Amino acid sequence: MIEQQTQYNASRWIYGALRPRVGQRLAIPNRKILKLSFVLERINNPVGDIDYVIARTFDNVELYRQTLCDASEIAAGANWYELELTVPPTINDEVTIYVEYLDGDGANNIEVYHQDTNVKAMENYRSAHPVEISCWQGSEDLDCAYKYEYLTMGAPAVVYSIEQLCQNHGTFFGDANVKRLGQRLTIPNRRVTHLGFWIWKLGAPTGDITFGIRRVSDDGLICSKVWGDASALQVAAAYEEVEFDTPPTINEEVRVYAEFLNGNGVDRTAIRELTTNVKANEYKTRYQAGAWWPTAGYECTYRMKNLLPKTS
């Protein structure tokens, strides 16, 4: 069987110093991947290996990598290039499948083709900086052209699906002012099973840490679960997660948050965040003095699991 997005009408260069990785973010529901293909074109005289890679979206851990060929072997016009995987991996996760070319320059490079409109639901085009691969840049309005051939290996499990993983700063919550901290975003018809944040403790806080999801429209509680007592948190930032007892299906704008009600200026908790905006139509939000307040230009660091949608 084949999963694919075969439309393309535009392309972007890839080479080491500019943009060495381009591909598609998508969910692969428990499939053994046999072959992987992209549409490539050679510009002038590039040399060096071109690799096809499958990496987990959540933490960018490579699940598979194999060299396609030397860049000099790619033709001057746009063509499909298929790679038969020598050790086919079984993937049951949300991943980025991508082309990587670490050599070349502005005159000698490889073009990877995509469609400049959104044609594949629940997927999107992505590209990565030459150094900061942890902060992929995506576009919901583009789709990379790709194909992969696969065997179905059984029923899929839950996977990571919605997240903002970039982080460079920490901020307090659970003191006399800010009781909840999180992210405002739209969840598009997903059954959310898990929610997690990177949090830690300062001093000796005690009392429940709760993770929850509330509607933006009326601040109504959709679901929440106590993670545990704040005293059990680590003293350095660590990922902590809850699994909801009755996973809700959500199709609206919400706030996902961590809550601690018992802190003070000495004994309190903190959460990791990013001090720039990287996710369109999302931003950090805090509950202070009985109301929610936006923090424009900032992103809370979080992740959610959801049940995979049905795929062909």
| Count of domains for the chain | 2
The three-state (H, E, C) secondary structure of 238-294, written as one string: EEEEEECCCCCEEEEEEEEEEEECCCCCCCEEEEEEECCCCCCCCEEEEEECCEEEE
Q: What is the residue range of 233's domain?
A: 160-306
244 inside domain: yes
From 167, 133, 108, 155, select the one nearest 53 (Cα to Cα).
Answer: 133
Query: Which residue carries 């790679």 as its tokens?
Result: 83
If pLDDT is split at 50, 70 and 90, which confidence band does 43 have? very high
- The secondary element (H helix, E strand) that includes residue 304 is strand 302-306
Listed in sequence order, the DSSP H helices in the chain are: none
Is residue 195 situated within a structural domain? Answer: yes
pLDDT tens digits, one per residue of 243-270: 999 999 898 999 999 999 999 989 999 9
The verdict on 89 and 210 lying in the same domain is no
Q: Which two tokens stand for residue 107?
A: 């005159």
CA pair distance 232, 201, nearest whole angstrom: 9
> Which pLDDT does position 296 carry in this prediction?
86
> Both 6 and 126 in a single domain?
yes
Same domain for 91 and 61, yes or no, is yes
Q: Are residues 142 and 175 in the same domain?
A: no
Residue with tokens 């805090």: 286
Shared-domain flag, residues 119 and 178: no
Q: What is the pLDDT of residues 170-220, one digit of tens each?
A: 999 988 889 999 999 998 778 899 999 999 999 999 999 999 999 999 999
CA–CA separation, 288 and 199 (whole Å):
18
Task: Tell me the C-alpha distance between 277 and 279, whole Å.
Answer: 6
Tell me, what CATH number does 296's domain have?
A: 2.60.120
Helix/strand/coil for 46: coil
**Quick check: is 213 in a domain?**
yes
Distance between CA atoms of residues 129 and 143, nearest Å? 18
Residue 135 has pLDDT above 70, yes or no: no
Q: 230 and 111 share a domain? A: no
* Pair 60, 37 in one domain: yes
3-state DSSP: the chain helix, strand, coil percent, rounded to 5?
0, 60, 40
Residues 126 and 20 in one domain: yes
* 228 or 141, which is more confident: 228
Paired tokens of 129? 């900086």
In a domain, 311, yes or no: no
Which residue among 123, 155, 187 closes a domain? 155
Residues 122 and 36 in one domain: yes
Beta-carbon neighbour count of residue 200 at 10 Å? 17
Residues 106 and 243 in one domain: no
